[in-house]
Amino acid sequence: MLRAVVLACVVNIVLAGKAPTIDLNDGRKMPVVALGTGRGTAGSAPIDEVKDAVFWAIEAGYRHIDTAAVYGDEEQVGQGIAEAISKGLVKREELFVTTKLWNDRHARDQVVPSLRESLTRLGLDYVDLFLIHFPISMKSDGSPDNIDYLETWEGMEEAKELRLARSIGVSNFNATQIDRLVANKNAFRPAVNQIEVNPTLTQEPLVSHCQNLGIAVMAYSPFGFLVTRKHADAPPPRVDDPTLVRIANKYGKNTAQIVLRYLVDRGLVPIPKSANKDRIAQNIDLFDFQLTKEEVAEISKFNKNVRVIHPKGWESYPNYPF
Ligand SMILES: NC(=O)c1ccc[n+]([C@@H]2O[C@H](COP(=O)([O-])OP(=O)(O)OC[C@H]3O[C@@H](n4cnc5c(N)ncnc54)[C@H](OP(=O)(O)O)[C@@H]3O)[C@@H](O)[C@H]2O)c1
């Protein structure tokens, strides 16, 4: 009973498409499942698949799409959205589109122009959420730069004031970096921190830190090593893990859905990437069941603090977060 009350406070009852929404600290609402469109972590998937994936996702009830300038797919994301709108599936204002500022555009006066370029590629007048992709900055040749993310944040605030981005936030910021940004008394606190969270990287301290500050957490690479990655010696669980299979059988779901529901039940916003029509539909079919507190704790026990995303070669860059 208490659990149901707590959940109702975090997740609104109003559905956006198939997923409920959470309240952001700027008064806006964000659907709790986003389609991931970055294709870098599970092989070199072709860009052509993105347009169909976005269309199928909207058809299946997704209202939140996650992209980034560095994914090189904003144009295809925009095409998928345009097709769904032109076929009458959805109106622009019913969608929540997230994109991100890449590391080589961190100077204050580069932020709004970079967002305008993203908007042109997306074919949109505004995005719902604009994130600083990483706290580190680079020169255009990829070598380290040393631009303070507090300076970058001023550009983000300008993007919000111009209403080119309705909400602004960060990605891959650690707790110290979040605290420094919040302590700086900017006009706007970040609405979101998008970080990696999955059964082998449960991130309880950073997640609670953000949530206690009213910053919503989006969970990228939500499947962790459940799905095939390049890492040969990755820790469990896999899709056929006995614990996950037992929980999946109890609810009549598959293990991928159990992992996504685990994240939702922790108050997170998972971003499953798929280009497969059936799996796209499965990955949002999460709202007719709920895990118990014990099942959430059981899945958290897989934690090994092992990352899927561990950018090699950036460790010496100023503001490296991991
Ligand atoms: N902010 C950041 O720095 C950052 C970093 C990484 C990722 N991201 C975002 O997060 C998104 C997701 O992360 P990710 O792509 O690393 O990993 P992911 O979503 O955890 O995994 C994607 C992989 O899982 C497979 N898959 C999807 N649904 C499945 C299901 N129901 N059953 C079995 N396999 C399934 C996909 O294959 P199919 O396509 O064949 O289904 C793909 O190979 C990205 O696309 C991106 O939008 C952000």
Say what the pLDDT of residue 85 is.
Answer: 98
Over residues 6-31, the pLDDT tens digits come to 343 444 445 667 899 999 999 999 99
Query: Probe ligand 1: pick from 49, 101, 227, max atoms within 8 Å of CB?
Result: 227
Question: Whose CA is closest to atom 29 on ligand 1?
Answer: 279
Buried b (16+ CB within 10 A) or exposed e, 96-112: bbbbbbbbbbbebebbb
Rounded to the nearest angstrom, the distance between the alpha carbon of 41 and the centre of ligand 1 is: 7
Ligand 1 atom having least distance to the Cα of 274? 39
Say what the pLDDT of residue 16 is.
Answer: 61
Ligand 1 atom having least distance to the Cα of 224? 20
Confidence class for position 70, pLDDT limits 50, 70, 90: very high
Over residues 177-228, the pLDDT tens digits come to 999 999 998 889 999 999 999 999 999 999 999 999 999 999 999 999 999 8
Q: Which residues contact 4 (CB under 8 A, 6 or more apart)?
A: none
Active site residue 71: yes
**Ligand 1 pocket by Cβ (under 6 Å):** 36-38, 41-42, 66, 133, 171-172, 194, 220-223, 227, 256, 271-276, 279, 282-283, 308-309
Say what the pLDDT of residue 223 is.
Answer: 97
The residue among 272 and 40 whose pLDDT is bigger is: 272
What the chain holds in terms of domains, given with CATH numbers, is: 2-300 (3.20.20.100)
Task: Give CA–CA dist 75/50, Å, rounded.
Answer: 9
Would you say residue 80 has pLDDT above 60?
yes
Strand ordering across the sheet containing 269-270:
35-36, 64-66, 96-101, 127-132, 165-171, 192-196, 216-220, 269-270
Diameter over CA atoms, the chain: 55
